[in-house]
Amino acid sequence: MGKITRREFNLLTTKVIASITLYQFIGCTDEVKLISKGEENLKKLVIAFGPWPMIDRSIAEDFANRFIEVSHLSQNYLKKSVELVNNIANKLPKNAIALESLDLRKFSFEENEFILTLCKQLYNLVEVRYYISKMPQFGECQVDALFYTKSPS
Amino acid sequence: MEEIKTDYCIVGAGIAGIILASKLASSGKKILLLDQGPRYSEKDRSEFLQQGKMTLNDSADYNDNLHPDLKTETTSISNDKNSIEWKPLRLFGVGGTALHFNGTMMRPVKEDMRVRSLFGYGRDWPISYSELEPWLLKAEFEVGIAGNTDNPYASKRSGPFPMPAHEFSHYDKKYFKPALKKLNIVGHSYPRSVNSISYQNRSKCLACRACRFCPSGARYSPDRTHVPILDTLDNVEIISNVSLRKLETNSSSNEIIAAHIVRTNDKKPLLIKSKKFILALGGIETPRMLLLSADEKLHKNGLGNMGGQLGKGFSDHSIPSYHFNLGQHAGHRLGFPTMISDYFRVHSNRENQPTISIRSSPAMESSPVGTLSFSWLKNQDTFSFRQVREMIPNVVTLSAFSELEGTGTLDLDPVKKDSFGSPLARINMKMSDWDIAGYELLKEYGLKIADAMGAENISNLSPPGSGFGYHPSGTTAMGNNPDEGVCDNNLKIFGLDNLYVVSNSVFPHMGSNPPTLTIVALALRLAKHLESNSI
């Protein structure tokens, strides 16, 4: 995957998200409220699509909060995608967490594209991958430094 | 103007400059070590790591918050169909790129140093492997390399490694090594400057996998090992945040009389007068400074460029990679691969194709595993998160360091300048048909290895030129005379009595091994030469 760094990848994917949702932004609606609502709904999506089961809901929420904060800092992600995020969130079960699957026929083409892009971005992140692979947390020294030599089962 | 007088002025406080300074220090001579970047503290390291985690920035790095003016850019020719865009991945700061390198410390094989004579491409080194070998061994002890003498393809060594290799991962033992064996290839230990046991008062690796910042200190970094010692010495001064602008020659054009420096915080000038100058600025800034220091006499085309060799032979490693879905949990990753194979460094028809070294591991932290997993699951109506979560631990990376012929060039950009008004280095990176043959070699054997592992999904091989930017080399090559290179076999610039260079820019040719160990070996060798030709 060569020269594309993860940061570049993230920028690239969020640009895609921004571009497909631009037309859906409602210009006359109060922007602050939209962003605020979008944040909550984006958080809902991250928790629903992520790998954390109910028992780890606090981990999921902490991750989602940081994910949203970073998205805000890096570009107009939420601002331009908020309507789309809201539509998708409204089609998910209440308090959805670690969904097993999603019936894509319930979503529009743009919503499908958004979900796919968001999920790729999410599951590329080391923190998510390590969680799924049951790896010790990144950056934490290990008492059993030979854990990597053992069978993962 | 502020002026400093010294015996040795070393410009560039990366791994080469720091180790050179530490060896010269015992002479008692005055040593001045300069770097354009800042000094980073342990607190900085810790904060970079924490900040990266908090902001989900898996690429967090030392120079992220450095003022853009201090990160000298390069430009790259890429509009020519034969040229590939090239961007450096170096660092500015005391410790240089070794602040964040992953500690790969492989040796050349003896044939790498005679490629012109033996195979008809590239340039021969003016010194042989047997002459360099004792210095490679010293370098391994100087920085602390973990490795075993289990590599059947290695050239002769005069002693063992200072510490044992890291134990092979579950993946290596269960999947990679058996797959290689089916192809009659031996997988062996991967020499690395990460302690497998406590070494020189540094911890053994504690498997945190954040190698860039290495919280345990197990991974060698010159600012943690040699610099603290230099700081205690009265005859050594380290100045950070200063930028070399030009070296000034005398009226006879045979000696450097001063280095013109600028303090980067207030742009105040500083003049350094030294008996000997050594440039240790890495593969880009070293040749650039020689070009920027052209005079009006012997060195009118750049220092040491009487034969037109300065900027020629630019090379790097292409590092193409595959990703496989193994179909079962690949096991956990230490933060770096623990096995590599040098098979294709000696079993390659080098007249027609380059050498490659192959390594594999559970997917690297930088791998786009999510993207791959979603793309490998094709159900148009349903999005199965469960299947993605099951697949992610199964994804592995296979990649290679691929040798290049060295047909690139470096010159000064006619338009773009740095923040001090000097032209930037311009790279024209090319891959010849011969270079592409190395890519084809990995393409073929990568699929065979995947097949031998029983892989269920295989990504496309990343394009030729993937991974460029780590190992720029070759543009101030050692040679027997100015028609062959820019410096002699003692790294002294041709035509100048008191200017030396030490970096991967002096490599006449680079095999499929990363250059860092050889750079350290050359720094140790240069220190010995300078000591024996005392001022």
**Mean pLDDT throughout B47-58?**
94
State the nearest Cα–Cα gap between A105 and chain B, in angstroms. 6
Q: Is A69 on the interface with B (CB under 8 A)?
A: yes
Alpha carbon distance A47, A62 (integer Å): 10
pLDDT tens, residue by residue, B91-106: 999 999 999 999 999 9
Radius of gyration of chain A (CA): 17
What length is written for chain B?
A: 535
State chain B's mean pLDDT as an integer.
Answer: 96
Subunit contact A99:B385, Cβ cutoff 8 A: yes
User: Quick one: pLDDT at residue A81?
Assistant: 75
Q: Which residue reads 């000298």 in tokens?
A: B72
Q: How many CB atoms lie within 10 A of CB B504?
A: 24
Q: What's the token pair of residue B154?
A: 């290695």
pLDDT of B535 strictly over 80: no
The pLDDT score that the predictor gives to residue B91 is: 96
Q: Nearest residue of A to residue B400 by CA position?
A: A2
Burial class (CB in 10 A: 0-12, 13-18, 19+), B253: middle
Tell me whether residues A123 and B333 touch, CB distance under 8 A.
no
Dihedral sign for Cα B32, B35, B38, B40, please. negative
Q: Give the pLDDT confidence score for residue A17 in this predicted structure.
A: 38
What are the φ and ψ backbone dihedral angles of B383, each rounded to 5 degrees?
-105, 110
Smallest CA–CA distance, residue B410 to chain A, in Å, is: 20
H/E stretch holding A86 reads: helix A77-90
Residue B380's pLDDT is 74
Tens digit of each residue's pLDDT (9 = 90 or more) over A16-64: 333 333 333 333 334 444 455 568 899 999 999 999 999 999 999 999 9
- In whole angstroms, give the CA distance from residue B285 to residue A63: 41
pLDDT at B381: 85
In this complex, is the C-beta atom of A48 within 8 Å of any C-beta atom belonging to chain B?
no
pLDDT at B188: 98
pLDDT of residue A38: 61
Q: Confidence class of residue B390 from pLDDT cuts 50, 70 and 90?
A: very high
Interface test mutation site (partner A, options B51, B53, B58, max chain A beta carbons within 10 A)? B58
Average of per-residue pLDDT across B485-499: 98
Could you tell me if B249 and B496 are in contact, meaning their C-beta atoms sit under 8 angstroms apart? Answer: yes
Q: Kindly identify which residue of chain B lies nearest to residue A116, measuring between CA atoms.
A: B374
Predicted confidence (pLDDT) per residue in B178-236, tens digit: 999 999 999 999 999 999 999 999 999 999 999 999 999 999 999 999 999 999 999 99
Indicate the residue type of A55.
I
pLDDT tens-digit map of B261-312: 999 999 999 999 999 999 999 999 999 999 999 999 999 999 999 999 999 9
**The predicted structure's pLDDT at residue A37:** 56
Chain A residues inside the 8 Å CB shell of B55: 66, 69-70, 73
Residue B69: band (very low, low, confident or very high) from pLDDT cuts 50, 70, 90:
confident
Do A3 and B213 count as a contact with CB atoms less than 8 A apart? no
User: What is the predicted pLDDT for the residue at A6?
Assistant: 42
Check CB contact under 8 Å for B206 and A149.
Answer: no
Quick one: pLDDT at residue A74? 54
At position B246, the amino acid (one-letter code) is K
As a whole number of angstroms, the distance between CA A3 and CA B267 comes to 34
Q: Which amino acid is at A66?
A: R
- Regarding beta strands B321-325 and B395-402, do their DSSP bridges make them parallel or antiparallel, or are they unpaired? antiparallel
Q: How near does any CA of chain A get to the CA of B403, in Å?
A: 16
pLDDT at B71 over 60: yes
The reported pTM is 0.93
A65 in contact with B, Cβ within 8 Å = no
Strand partners, B31: B8, B236
Among B371, B377, B386, B462, the strongest candidate for a mutation testing the A interface, having the largest count of A CBs within 10 A, is: B371
Of B56, B59, B331, which is closest to A152 when you measure between CB atoms?
B331
Two tokens at A58?
Answer: 């606090």
Among B192, B179, B121, CA closest to B453: B179
Cβ contact, residue pair B321, A67, below 8 Å: no
Mean pLDDT across B323-345: 96
Interface of A with B in 3-32 (CB under 8 A): 3-7, 9
In this structure, chain A runs to a length of: 153
Q: How far apart are CA B153 and CA B342, in angstroms?
A: 6
CB of A132 less than 8 A from some CB of B: yes
Q: What is the pLDDT of residue B385?
A: 95
| Cβ distance of B463 and A2 shorter than 8 Å | yes
Question: Cβ distance B104 to B231 under 8 Å?
Answer: no
pLDDT at B229: 97
Kindly state the tokens that stand for A99. Answer: 């969904």
What per-residue confidence (pLDDT) applies to A25? Answer: 32
Report residue B224 as tokens: 């943690």
Give the mean pLDDT of B407-435: 95
Task: Check whether B348 has a pLDDT greater than 60.
Answer: yes
Q: Cα(B161)–Cα(B149) distance, rounded to whole angstroms? A: 8
* Strand intervals (E) in B342-440: 356-362, 382-384, 395-402, 408-417, 423-430
A69: chain B residues, CB-CB within 8 Å: 55
Residue contact A51–B389, C-beta within 8 A:
yes
Q: Please state the φ and ψ torsions of residue B365, each to the nearest 5 degrees.
A: -60, -30
Whether residue A141 and residue B363 make contact (CB cut-off 8 A), yes or no, is: no
Across the interface, do B392 and A123 touch by the CB < 8 Å criterion?
yes
How many C-beta atoms lie closer than 10 Å to residue B319's C-beta?
22
Interface test with B, best of A67, A102, A115, A123 (most B CBs within 10 A): A123
Q: How far out from the chain centre does Cα B26 lie?
A: 27
Sign (positive/negative) of CA torsion B128, B11, B259, B27? negative
Interface pTM (ipTM) of the complex?
0.92
Q: Which residues pair with B500 in a beta bridge?
A: B278, B492
| DSSP 8-state symbol, A133 | T
Please compute Rg for chain B using Cα positions.
23
B102 to each of B58, B165, B168, B265, B402, how far by Cα in Å? 15, 15, 17, 30, 18
The DSSP code for B364 is P
pLDDT, tens digit, 9 for 90 and up, residues A64-123: 999 988 865 554 555 567 788 889 999 999 899 999 999 999 999 989 888 988 999 999
Mutate to test the interface with A, among B46, B84, B204, B385 (most CBs of A within 10 A): B385
CA B198 from centroid of its chain's CA atoms: 25
Question: If DSSP codes are grouped into helix, strand and coil, which group holds residue B497?
Answer: coil
Residues B237 and B231: their CA atoms lie apart, in Å, by 7
**Cα separation, B505 vs B285, whole angstroms:** 9
Residue B351: CB atoms within 10 A of its CB come to: 10
pLDDT confidence bin for B359, thresholds 50/70/90: very high
